[in-house]
Structures are given as C-alpha cells and as structure tokens.
Amino acid sequence: MSTATVSLCVILIEVTEESQLLPSVQYLAPKYRGNMADNGSGKPKELQFAGGDKSKTRGLRKPYNLTVETFTSTETTATTTTGDKKSGGVDNPSKSSSSGQPSDVSDSEGAGETKKVTFLSGNPFVEVTKGVLHLYKENERTPMDKLDVGRSEMLLMLAVPASTSCRDLLQFVAPFQADIEHIKIIRDSIPNQYMVLIKLKSQRQADTFYQTLNGTTFNSFEEDLCNLAYVARVETMKETENVGLPLVGHTELPTCPVCLERMDESVDGVLTILCNHSFHSLCLSKWSDARCPVCRFVQTPELVVGNQCSECKSSESLWICLICGHIGCGRYVHGHAYKHFCETSHCYAIQPDNNRVWDYVGDNFVHRLLQNKDGKLVEVSGRGAPRPEDAGKTETEDKLDSIQLEFTYMLTTQLESQRYYFEEKLASQVREMNRDVEKLQIRLEENDKYKTETDIRLKGLTKEKVNLEKKIAQLTQKLTKATTDLNDEKEVNKHMKKDHDKWVALVAKLEKEHEQYVAEKTAEIVDLKESLRDVMFFMEAGKLVGGSELRDEITEGQVVVGPSAADNAAAASTSKKEQRRKKR
C-alpha cells in the first residue's frame, strides 16, 4: 500500500502547567537534525507557532490524562531464558512505577514464555501526564521512493482498537523485532483506542516495516486495519500563550479516529484508510467517543436541537470544527465557521446533518462518505471496500456513479442553501415592510391626534379673536369720543385764554384808574382838612371876639393871612396872636 509521496506527522503533547513533561518521548527525524547542522545553531530547529487566539485555538478541547508505556528492546536473542528476561526487567529503573499499568502487561509477560517477544523488557516504563495531544501533518509532501531524501525512523500507528491488546500488538510486530529500538503506547482517556509510536533502527528498516504492515489487519478475525504514518518529530511542551497555536507549514488533524476517517481523502499520505468497512452506524457506535466534541455533537441528535453558533447564536446552517469542536454558522448566515478557520487555521469543518467535511484550504468537500436520501451513509469515492451490490460493476461505472452522486448532492445542497438564503432574505424583507407599515400607522395616528388638538386650539383662538375684535371696536368708539371731547376742551381752552388776556388788560387799566382815583382823593382830603382848620380857626376867633371889649375894634380890623397857609400856619397863627396881642 505504498504511495508516491507521504505527509509526515508531527505530534505535540501540550501538558498543563502542573503536569510533567515527557522528555523520553521527544523525537526529531534525522533530516531535521541535518537542518539543525545547516543553520549552525546548537539547538534543533524550534517549532514555529503562528499568531492567534489561544482560547479560540483550544476550542472545546479539555486537558485529559495521557499515559505513555515504553517497551525497550533489550537486544537479547530469541534463545534467552525467562530468567534472563526478568533480570533485564530489574535493571529497568521504571519497574517501581506501576501506576497506570494496563492489564495487558501481564499478557505480554505471559507471552514472554514464547520466544517471539523476548526482546522486549517485561515491564513497560510508564509515564503519566495531563494535557492535550495535537496531531499535525506537514504541508510539504515527502517522496516515498528515494531513500536518500530521508523520511523518518519513527512510525505512528494510529487508532489501534482496544480489542487489539498489547500482546496482540507485540505479536503483530514480532517479525520486525530485530529492527525495533523501542515501542511507546500512548493512551489518552478514549477507552476504545490507543496510538503506538514505533522507533526503528534505520530508514530502510522503517520503510520495510511501513510497506509490509500498513493497511493490513491486526489479526485474521478482526477487520480493523493497521494505519501507519511517518513521524517527523514528537514534542512535549508546557502549555503557554503560543503553544498549540497553528504551526507554520503544518495542518492540524483531528486526533479522534472517527473524525479522521470522515476526512480520509484529505489525509491521504498520512493515513490511507482507517477501517476497511463503510461508515455504518455499527462502526460509529463501536468508535463512539464521549470525549470528542464533534462525535458527541453528530451522534446525539437530541443535543443538536439546542446547538447554535458560538458567536451569533444562530441555529441554522451549522459547521463544526473537526479539530477543536468549535460550532460556527455557514456563509449564508454570518460566516462564523469560516472566521474560525481564519483565526485558528483549523481547516476541516463538518456539516452535522449529513457528515460532509469541508476543507477550507483545498476549498472543497473531502469526505468519501455521504448520507443518501434515505439517511444512510454511503461511500462515494469507491476507495473503501467494494460493496457487495457493486461487485458486478466495472471500476469506471463505479466512478461515474460516485461522481454523479457527488454532483447531484453538491447541486442539491447548493440549491438548498440558496433557497434558505433567499427565503431568509424574503422573510426579513417582509418583516422590514411590516415594521415600516406599523411605523407609518403610528405616525398617522399621531398626526390625527395632532390635527384634532390643533382644531380645538384653533376654535378657542377664533373665539378669543372675536372677543378681542369686539373689545377693539368698543375701545375705538371710546377713543373717538375722547378725541371729540379733547377737541371741545381745546376750543374752550382757546376761548378762555382769549378772555383771560382781555381780563388781564382790564385789570391793569382798573388798577391804574384806581391809583389815579386814590391820588385825587388824597389831594381832596388834604384840601378839605385845610378848609376844615380854617373853618375851625374862624369859629374860635369869632367866639373870642364876641367875649372881649375890643370887639368893635377887632371887627373893624383886618385879618391878613400869610401866602402859604399850610407851611406858615403856626407862624401865622403865632403872628396873628401877636397881632391880636398888639392890638390889645
């Protein structure tokens, strides 16, 4: 079962912080040791991790217990006695470590009685750790035919069923006992399978081992096949931020055998066929793996109901990452499955409803098993064992049939997804339209309400306006009246002012007249007073004259009055008196 080229595998055991590394498991193929010499550094070429998000790359995978049992060749001959074999076992310091020893060990010891397995130490050296095992294939393929190219002296036997015991296994490889340096059995928590690392002494011996045993059954009554792959390197590393991220130049593969079988077209060169029977339900239940998130998802339909895209919670068109179990939606929803590939380089995803596996790097479907219309799984590429009903058909017919089926299937799924897509689009448009109509209705109602309110307000305002107009009319009337009154008053005022001037002139005239009058009267009074004095004087004089003997004389006498009677009255009177006295 040799192919022209093979892909070499890389095994990376990423152990948890508190668990121990397994330095004894580490391995580097000779051609890489050569590279190490080329680049001149003392250390082997490091694995190159690409960037990425650790939690996304880890996905749903949880660390689990890993047990490694090492069977080392003791270089003893086939004639070695049982006692010698046991002493070799005592020399092995690991004998005290008996934890995790499988029950098969006693079988191998029992088998020690036969000559076939005496080259292996009786008790395996057992190491236990906890972590996640990553399986990668190199993207660059290595030619099979040239010896000088150098592949690897280490071979990986993948997915050995638990029904094949240690004893069975040792018997299976017994013909090559002289070529084997050591055998390491790696068990994880999957109960029904394990993997085996076989280190051979030279490249040529490894090639012979590979070509002889790859694709053969472990024994005549089991149909499970031995699947071999060349191992480029085995690393154990503590889990850190970048350990476990995508490896540059490598493609990560699922470690679950069921998932591996689902995509065996794509792992051509790593694995040829995992099992030679079709992917029927019996086989699935046999491989049933409670730990693999993908198998759990695909095999338990009741779980599928509640499943959804881990990013957008969509439950339509889901794809599950075969490497880490991430669930994402398809390209017609939000494309989160593709986004997961971009972030983690996990390039295989399975459609749970029909088990079709998509390869994002190859951009095609990679499975050879399809679900037909009846819901049964059928093989399409014809690379597995021929089905009994197809026995009569020629290979070409078979091929044509499978191609036809493949294309019909592809067309159907594409049309289906298109239908989903357009139905979804239509539905969303209807939803949008309904929303718009609702919005418009609400707006209409609002407008109606607003209009009613406005009408009421308008009515009120109109009433107010009428009232105001009435008031304005009244006020205008009042104003007119007041203006008329004012004019009248002004007229009256004008007349009164005119009268006032007249009166003022009159008063002035009267005052003048009055003054004149007063002056006249005063003068009159003065005259009258003079006259009155004269009269009084005369009367007194008459009285005096009448009484005196000299009355005749006096009567004959003359009275001379001074020129200024007023001023010289006193003097005159005095002089008169003197005159009278003289006369006497």
Rule CB under 5 A: which residues touch Zn ion? Answer: 59, 256, 258-259, 275, 283, 292, 294-295, 309, 311-312, 314, 321, 323-324, 326, 329, 334, 336, 344, 346
Task: Return d(Cα 263, Cα 251) in angstroms, integer.
Answer: 13
Using the minimum distance from each CB to Zn ion, give the nearer residue, 116 or 334.
Answer: 334
* CB 227 to Zn ion: min, Å: 11
* CB 135 to Zn ion: min, Å: 12
* CB 126 to Zn ion: min, Å: 27
**Nearest of 298, 300, 335, 302 to residue 320 by alpha carbon:** 298
Burial annotation 463-481 (CB, 10 A radius, 16+ → b, else e) = eeeeeeeeeeeeeeeeeee
Using the minimum distance from each CB to Zn ion, give the nearer residue, 104 or 224.
Answer: 224
Using the minimum distance from each CB to Zn ion, give the nearer residue, 28 or 295.
Answer: 295
* CB 82 to Zn ion: min, Å: 39
Tokens of 339: 């986004």
Task: Return d(Cα 268, Cα 141) in angstroms, integer.
Answer: 10
Contacts of 343 (CB under 8 A, 6+ apart): 52, 53, 56, 57
Question: Contact, 183 vs 197, CB < 8 A?
Answer: yes
What type of residue is 561? V
Question: Contact, 305 vs 297, CB < 8 A?
Answer: no
* CB 289 to Zn ion: min, Å: 6
Question: Contact, 120 vs 173, CB < 8 A?
Answer: no
Other CB atoms within 10 Å distance of the CB of residue 188: 18
Using the minimum distance from each CB to Zn ion, give the nearer residue, 171 or 344.
Answer: 344
* CB 192 to Zn ion: min, Å: 12
Question: Contact, 275 vs 283, CB < 8 A?
Answer: yes
Helix (H, G, I), strand (E, B) or coil at 158: strand
* CB 333 to Zn ion: min, Å: 6
| H or E, element range at 10 | strand 5-15
Question: Contact, 22 vs 130, CB < 8 A?
Answer: no
* CB 283 to Zn ion: min, Å: 4
Using the minimum distance from each CB to Zn ion, give the nearer residue, 134 or 336.
Answer: 336
End-to-end CA distance of the chain: 215
**Nearest of 183, 240, 165, 189 to residue 66 by alpha carbon:** 189
